Amino acid sequence: MPAQPEGGPAPRTGALPEEAAARAGAETFSAYVHVPYCRVRCGYCDFNTYTAEELGPGANREDYREQLGREIALSRRVLADTALASRPFDTVFFGGGTPTLLPAETLAGVLEDLRAGFGLAADAEVTTEANPDSVDAAYFRTLRSAGFTRVSLGMQSAVPHVLDVLDRTHDPARIGGVVAAAKEAGLQVSLDLIYGTPGESLADWRTSLEAVLAHRPDHVSAYSLIVEPGTRMGAQVRRGELPMPAEDDLADKYELADALLGEAGLQWYEVSNFATAPGSRCRHNLAYWRGADWWGYGPGAHSHIGGVRWWNAKHPRAWAGRLEQEASPAVGREVLDADTRALEEIMLALRVDGEYPLARLADSARPVIARLLAEGLLGAETVRTGRIHLTLRGRLLADGIVRELADHLR
């Protein structure tokens, strides 16, 4: 799993510097809740997650709500001390790990604690990631009545041999029933896909996309597989047991996804995310791309408030131990200076369709913009709206465009 980034030390109290208060609050306010449990560890996964055996004593699922409660209390204290007006959450997102390994009542309880601490906006978006294996109609009903609005199902692929390589244990045939149950319960449904798994053909990927479309989701996330060093899959690729996904193959698959999803009415709004309508976009993810404020609860979670980023101790026991001592579980943080904030802004916002304003760029960027338009990497709307719209080719080369434009920040 990835190491936490290097940063400065975080104060034991969790107190935020004054400048954070000055800059916070311009955008929405969100909560991310990290649930670090999985039944099995997938070979490609480098997220902060633990199976029951890996956890060891001192950190268990039964106490998890109580431990989160301590961090919620801490967040209330810290934000009050920073003289930030208390705001209700606009979005809440439960991610993992596998949040749905916890009983629906526990997730509902944690949401209740968040609501009690800060309140939820009337139109709040509340999402949980879910493993198709571990949910059913009753589970969804409980979530919905607790205030959840959305479920993001980790489908990954509809092709058995691809799921095998990913170590996913669910039966693809179950997805239809699970989606129907979620919709029945009144939840919006997002299906998450991974493309570029070693051994996945273009035809396999088409099968997965068609299966997804047959379930008529409101939203699709399509992430290309990244083989991370330190994962089991990383080791298999290094030893030559699995082929490394080829970049051109990934480009072909992204183009196919864009075409099939687009035909079915799912439009891209962020490089890897597609939605049927503006109202079904994932507002929580958009909050990340827009540099909004959020508090990340749970082991290893990252937070951002007003240009200050911090991250919690990764191991559940270390995280819980700090909270028990009434200390902040944060182990490192960064206070971003103006240049770094500007760099992060373009890095994040450029990926969102029509988000990044050309006004943020210096005059020296003009010939670069003109060239990118001429080469067909930026769409013509860019000029009309004054905000960057990437073309299909531009999306595939977005990081390179960021590197070029980052030399011309105002």
Q: Report the interface residues with another protein, using CB under 8 A.
A: 2, 4-7, 32, 34, 47-48, 95, 222-224, 226, 247-248, 250-251, 254, 271-272, 285, 288, 294, 296, 300-304, 309, 311, 334, 340, 343-344, 347-348, 351, 375, 377, 393, 395-400, 402-403, 406-407
DSSP-H helix ranges across 132-201: 137-146, 160-165, 174-184
Closest listed residue to residue 126, CA positions, set 150, 95, 97, 100? 150
Q: How far is the CB of 353 from another protein (least distance, A)?
A: 14
Q: How far is the CB of 141 from another protein (least distance, A)?
A: 27
Rounded distance between C-alpha atoms, residue 131 and residue 168, angstroms: 9
Reduced to 3 states (helix: H, G, I; strand: E, B; else coil), residue 73 is: helix
Q: Which is nearer to another protein, 118 or 311 (CB)?
A: 311
Q: How far is the CB of 398 from another protein (least distance, A)?
A: 4
Q: How far is the CB of 300 from another protein (least distance, A)?
A: 8
**Type of residue found at 389:** H
Q: Which is nearer to another protein, 283 or 309 (CB)?
A: 309
Q: How far is the CB of 348 from another protein (least distance, A)?
A: 7
Q: How far is the CB of 298 from another protein (least distance, A)?
A: 10
Rounded distance between C-alpha atoms, residue 290 and residue 90, angstroms: 14
Q: Which is nearer to another protein, 322 or 333 (CB)?
A: 333
**Type of residue found at 41:** R
Q: Which is nearer to another protein, 185 or 271 (CB)?
A: 271
Core vs surface per residue 100-127: b (16+ CB within 10 A) or e: bbbebebbbbbbebbbebbebeeebbbb
Q: Which is nearer to another protein, 95 or 379 (CB)?
A: 95
Rounded distance between C-alpha atoms, residue 381 and residue 390, angstroms: 9
- Do the Cβ atoms of 351 and 291 come closer than 8 Å? no
Q: Which is nearer to another protein, 142 or 272 (CB)?
A: 272
